[in-house]
Amino acid sequence: MAAGTRGRAAMQLAGDVIHNFFTGSCQEAMPTSTEREAIRQKNQLDVINLILEHVVGPGDFFSSDERAEFAAEAYAAWGTCKGCLAAKQQGITPGVPFAQYNHDEIDHVYVTDGPFRDIAHAIVNHQQMLDKPFFDSVLGRIEEYRAKNKTAGDEYGPDEYNAMAIELATVAALCSGVRAFFGASGLPCPELPEKPRVCQPAHFKSVSNYASGSLNTNMAIAWGPFLYASQLREDVAAYPGFDKTTWMFATADDSAPTSKASASPLTCMDFLRFANVMYFPVEDATRFFKVPGEESHASALNLAQDAVRGERLPLHTEIAALAAAVAANPENAQEAQDARDALVSAAGNRHALLDAAGIIAWFATITTVVDFSGHYNSKVIVILDRIASILRAGRKLRGFFKDPFESMGLCKE
Q: Residue 232: what pLDDT? A: 95
CA distance 63 to 413: 79
pTM of the model: 0.84
Per-residue pLDDT at 47 exceeds 90: yes
Percent of the chain with pLDDT over 70: 77
The answer to whether the Cα torsion of 314, 293, 229, 235 is positive or negative is positive
Res. 165 pLDDT band, cuts 50 70 90:
very high
**Separation of first and last alpha carbons in the chain:** 60
**Which among 164, 173, 194 is positioned nearest to 59, based on CA atoms?**
164
Mean pLDDT over 338-358 rounds to: 89
pLDDT digits (tens, 9 = 90+) for 125-139: 999 999 999 999 999
- The C-alpha atoms of residue 114 and residue 117 are separated, in whole angstroms, by 5
- pLDDT of 109 above 70: yes
Tell me if 113 sits within 8 A of 363, measured CB to CB. Answer: no
Of the candidates 272, 285, 283, 215, the one whose C-alpha atom is nearest the C-alpha of residue 245 is: 283
Q: What pLDDT was estimated at residue 355?
A: 87
- What percent of the chain has a predicted confidence (pLDDT) above 90? 54
Sequence letter at residue 204 = F
The arithmetic mean of pLDDT across residues 191-202, rounded, is: 96
Amino acid at the residue 335: E
Q: Residue 359 — very low, low, confident or very high, per pLDDT cuts 50/70/90?
A: confident
Query: Which backbone phi and psi does 378 adopt, to 5 degrees?
Result: -90, 5
Length in residues, the chain = 413
DSSP string over 198-245: SPPPPS-SSGGGTBSS--B--TTT-SS-B--GGGB-HHHHTSTT--HH
CA angle 156, 161, 166 (to 5 degrees): 145
Q: Please give the DSSP secondary-structure letter assigned to residue 20.
A: H
373, burial (CB in 10 Å: exposed 0-12, middle 13-18, buried 19+): buried
Helices (H) and strands (E) in the chain, counts: 17, 0
Closest CA to 162 of 220, 213, 206, 100: 206
Q: Which residues pair with 226 in a beta bridge?
A: 216
Cα radius of gyration (the chain): 23
Cα–Cα distance, 160 to 386 (Å, whole number): 39
CA distance 329 to 324: 9
Report whether pLDDT(19) > 70.
no
- Are 102 and 122 a contacting pair, CB within 8 Å? yes
Q: State how far the Cα of 251 lies from the Cα of 2, in Å rounded to an integer.
A: 8
> From CA 412, how far away is CA 5, in angstroms rounded?
51
The angle, 0 to 180 degrees and rounded to 10, between the axes of the packed helices 2-23 and 379-402 is: 30
Q: CB-based contacts of 357: which residues, under 8 Å, 6+ apart?
A: 44, 181, 182, 184, 185, 322
Residue 166 sits at φ, ψ, to 5 deg, of -65, -40
* pLDDT tier for residue 367 given thresholds of 50, 70 and 90: very high
Rounded Cα distance between 24 and 308, Å, is 12
Cβ neighbours around 258 below 10 Å, total: 24
List, for residues 399-409, the tens digit of each pLDDT value: 766 655 444 44
Q: Which residues does 409 contact at the CB level (< 8 Å), separation at least 6? A: none
Distance (Å, rounded) from C-alpha 80 to C-alpha 88? 12
| Lowest-pLDDT range of 44-58, 191-205, 304-318, 376-390 | 304-318
- Give the C-alpha separation, 358 to 274, whole Å: 9
| Mean confidence (pLDDT) of the chain | 84
With a cut of 80, say whether residue 183 has pLDDT above it: yes
Decide if pLDDT at 378 tops 60: yes
Between CA 125 and CA 74 the distance in angstroms is 9
Q: Where are the domains of the chain?
A: 31-389
Query: Residue 320's pLDDT is what?
Result: 82
Better-predicted residue by pLDDT, 89 or 45: 45
Query: In 3-state terms, what secondary structure has residue 38?
Result: helix
> pLDDT tens digits for 291-305?
555 555 544 445 544
pLDDT of residue 172: 98
